[in-house]
Structure 1
């Protein structure tokens, strides 16, 4: 037997070994080898029906397999947990009583601290602040009884997530308090919601716009049997499970201070990314583009009893960055998508797409569905539907095309569109549309049900259903259109 050492290769090349042969197989060649009985899916048209408004095609990122809001132990499972809960029930009662006593004590201390204090714009006087130390162990929302009073006394900075003016005021308030040595340190939660701690979702920029150094703090909740994260579990169940544990662990770690670059003139987005990277590295977790908007989508899908609610999350931070649409708009698109009756995997087929948009099988409807079906497998996901709708709505000529479409429909010049006028216009795109089908389609535009469509309702309908602008393509690009229409045609071409 040969004597091999550790440095010798396990398999030595032989002179007699035949040379390697590399075969290049092209898709065009392989396609000819398919069975002659195979027919392409008619619902996977690759023609772009939105070129006339400046669309160059749709690209949709692959779906994320991560769920930042999933609690690992939403239900009570296992004999050990059942026995532990039974044993801890008396302890839970004691804890509940102590929680109530602490809440009451904090409420009383707060009322005393607030007594006669009216200058809420400036920091609370020291003697009042010392009384407020009693409330440091009470945390909740402002709207809750008793606790709301405590939170207000802590001079919390309020912000309406969906109001740009409110967000601007909150940033100004953060800057005012952070720049003043009289206020306590400003505590901010850049993710804007709770997660399961397994990933780091996108940061809101409010903490970074003022341009001051930040002190990152990370919190861990180590567990074996019970996940303490507030995700897909009710607050009542979460508190019950916490009260019936022998103990609950929490770790707090202070990271090195992160300062803005370029003499405090660093771009807030870049500043936030550097800070989030430092936190993600310390936690040893990945970063995603999920945001509070994804939680809204997840909650909506759960409320409507979808089998896989997490499949409707789209990483809203990226969607907002690409298309500048709000979370509320995304939820409206989800309502429309869910009306298409998606299957257990969260996908919608061509026939259900037609039913929701009151269309019939034709070349145009196949093009519309094929535009969304980027995978060309005969079904679409919510992410594809949202990306496609937002892509169309944000094309440079979309708004102009909507207004021109109304002008083309309003043949009488009454600033109202009748069912007959809409039908006459739509038949340029779908010639064999019958009266009943026109009536069904008209009901989408007739939002108030009065038998006519105003310009505001018409434009609002197309913002909610931007894919329908393709129905007006023939009248928008026809050579014999009006002077205004010709102008649009020249701009598009």
Structure 2
């Protein structure tokens, strides 16, 4: 067996894997290339999003589906350890599985995109399996494992259908895990929800009108609590706005970065003063320390950008108050 190795977190490795798939699929010297398009294992009750690597080369695909008919124990490898899976399989007299070959699926023409080819193939397999298609991907497994490590009661509540998130906001699974780290620091309750005061604590904010509006922007249900999905969608939405980078540049320059390469605490305080009228010196210092990664009393441009990418909701404090806007649906509404 000649395995095609790939590091799913490195774009260069993924591109190399696609080239290798294309090379082997087009060469008679190799046997048929066997790919597992979901990129992980599931219990087979749903079909999660397929990876694009199998479809980019544009060659015909022979779909193969596997079923695990069972009476006592489902031996499909879902959310169960390998040791437990093997033990329970050994306690059964027989373990069955069925293999079904579906009709070969050909690309429609040279203009068909890999995404459309993937969707047609996924739909054919889901129909044969009588399974529901979802927008989950391996990124959701990463989120689930992170929540599990944090001893959350319901780790699956932190899965967000990463394929949809990546398509909407162009953020990676690794970035989503970083946002989950931030959210878990807010001490979610057993149902996976975070209270307003914990949200403020982790972002080092004080209760004020602007802080309340930021929280309300995420709390679309107006329940006084937020879920990870809401936090991720809200943060990613702000970061994906065309004006985000421009606002960052203008904010850094306005704080003093236009005349030198760094910003000190007093300059930061002066710039965001309209938004923090009732903040004490200690509260402003805590906010400043969120940006000062190396604790040298200065915020350089990299520190500033890095903090806002980790905490994009904070961009509201650096936007001129009369011009702060929030996107809602297809329109734009004033939030102050």
Tell me the equivalent position of 2:34. Answer: 187
Look up the SS of the partner of 1:441 in the other structure.
Answer: helix
Look up the SS of the partner of 2:274 in the other structure.
Answer: coil
1:327-374 deviation per Cα after TM superposition (whole angstroms, max 9, x unaligned): 000000001111111111111111111111111111101110010011
Tell me the equivalent position of 1:406. Answer: 252
**Aligned residues of 1:289 and 1:318 also touching (Cα < 8 A):** yes
Q: How far does residue 406 in structure 1 lie from its aligned partner after superposition?
A: 1.0
Q: Which runs of 5+ in 1 are unaligned?
A: 1-153, 479-493
Q: Which runs of 5+ in 2 are unaligned?
A: 325-336
Q: Does 1:219 align with 2:76?
A: no
**Aligned residues of 2:5 and 2:17 also touching (Cα < 8 A):** yes
Tell me the equivalent position of 1:158. Answer: 5
Q: Does 1:289 align with 2:124?
A: no
Q: 2: CA distance between counterparts of 1:467 and 1:212?
A: 44
1:229-255 deviation per Cα after TM superposition (whole angstroms, max 9, x unaligned): 323222222222222322211111111
**Aligned residues of 2:158 and 2:228 also touching (Cα < 8 A):** yes
Tell me the equivalent position of 2:151. Answer: 305
**Aligned residues of 1:408 and 1:475 also touching (Cα < 8 A):** no
**Which of 47, 53, 60 is equivalent to 1:200?**
47
Q: How far does residue 450 in structure 1 lie from its aligned partner after superposition?
A: 2.1
Q: 2: CA distance between counterparts of 1:295 and 1:214?
A: 26
Q: 1: CA distance between counterparts of 2:196 and 2:266?
A: 27
**Aligned residues of 2:238 and 2:244 also touching (Cα < 8 A):** yes
Look up the SS of the partner of 1:231 in the other structure.
Answer: coil
**Which of 159, 163, 181 is equivalent to 1:335?**
181
**Aligned residues of 1:410 and 1:421 also touching (Cα < 8 A):** yes
Tell me the equivalent position of 1:241. Answer: 88
Tell me the equivalent position of 2:330. Answer: none
Q: How far does residue 412 in structure 1 lie from its aligned partner after superposition?
A: 8.2
Q: 2: CA distance between counterparts of 1:345 and 1:477?
A: 36
Q: What is the TM-score when the length of structure 1 is the normalising length?
A: 0.64
Q: Does 1:323 align with 2:169?
A: yes
**Aligned residues of 1:211 and 1:265 also touching (Cα < 8 A):** no
Q: 1: CA distance between counterparts of 2:193 and 2:185?
A: 12
Higher relative contact order (CA 8 A, sep 6+): 1
**Aligned residues of 1:405 and 1:475 also touching (Cα < 8 A):** no
1:6-53 deviation per Cα after TM superposition (whole angstroms, max 9, x unaligned): xxxxxxxxxxxxxxxxxxxxxxxxxxxxxxxxxxxxxxxxxxxxxxxx
1:412–1:169: structure 2 CA closer, same or farther, 3 Å change rule?
A: closer
**Which of 53, 57, 82 is equivalent to 1:210?**
57
**Which of 444, 458, 480 is equivalent to 2:290?**
444
Tell me the equivalent position of 2:206. Answer: 360
Tell me the equivalent position of 1:251. Answer: 98
Look up the SS of the partner of 2:54 in the other structure.
Answer: coil
Alignment RMSD: 1.6
Q: 2: CA distance between counterparts of 1:336 and 1:192?
A: 26
Look up the SS of the partner of 2:9 in the other structure.
Answer: coil
**Aligned residues of 1:411 and 1:421 also touching (Cα < 8 A):** no
